[in-house]
Amino acid sequence: MAKQDVLIVTDIQNDFCPGGALAVKEGDAIVPLVNNIMEGFYRVVATQDWHPKHQVSFASNHPGKKPYDVIRLGDITQVLWPDHCVAGTPGADFHPGLQTDKFHLVVRKGVNLAVDSYSTFLENDKKLKTGLDGYLKSIGADRVFLCGLATDYCVFYSAMDSASFGFKTYVIIDACRGIDVPENNIERSIQAMKDTGIGIISSGDL
Ligand code: VGL
Ligand code: ZN
C-alpha cells in the first residue's frame, strides 16, 4: 500500500465483542485478520466509541424505552442502545488481542451528551466534526480503507462520510461484522455503499 493509503480500524472494543454490552456476532473473529491487514499499511487510524454515562443514545436514559427502540431527536432518527462504551470503562477498551501499537491516531467519538456519532467524521447531526477530515487532508490521504465494527453502523456512516469528503473509499468486508438491526440492515448498508461508489473489497484484494 502507498503512504497515502490510510486504514481506519473502527470500534474494535470489548463492548462490541461477544460478552460485551452491545455484542456484535463474531465481533472478535476479525481481530487476527485486522492485525494482519495493519501490517500492510503505513498509516493506521483507530476509532473508539467513547460515551458519557448519560448519553442520549442509551435506552436507559429514556424512561419507558428499551434497547433497539427507535426515537426522533429533532431531525435525527436515533436507535436506542444498551449502555455501551462508557468512557474510561473496560467495555470501552480495545479488544486485548488488537495490536494497538500500530495506531498513529485514535479518534474518539460519541462524546457529545446530546448527539450520538456513528461516523468518525461527523456526528449524527451531520454538522459537528471530529476533525478527521482535516487530519486526512493534511497528511495528503488519497485512499481510505475501512474495517471493524459494526458494518451497518459505524463502518457504514464513516465510509459514507469519507466518500463525501472526497476520499476514494473502500470497505474490507471480510474484516467487518455487523449488528443487522433492523433485519437485513447489513445487506441494505452494503447496497447503499456500492450505490455511492464505495468499493466493497475483500482482504485478499489488498
Ligand atoms: C456502534 C451502535 C452504537 C458501532 C456504536 O460502532 O457501530 N453502533 N454505537
Ligand atoms: Zn455507541
Residue 11 designated active-site: yes
Active-site position among 15, 154, 161, 176: 154
Is 6-52+91-205 CATH 3.90.550.10?
no
Long-range contacts of 133-136 (CB under 8 A, 24+ apart): 133/161, 133/165, 135/45, 135/105, 136/6, 136/165, 136/167
Residue 133 designated active-site: no
- Is the pTM value of this prediction over 0.75? yes
Instruction: For residue 165, give the nearest of 206, 130, 205 by alpha carbon.
Output: 130
**Is the distance from the beta carbon of residue 149 to the nearest atom of ligand 1 less than 6 Å?**
yes
How far is the centre of ligand 1, averaged over its atoms, from the C-alpha of 178 (Å)?
9
Local mean pLDDT, 10-residue blocks, the chain (206 residues): 96 98 98 98 98 96 95 90 98 98 97 93 91 97 98 98 98 98 96 98 97
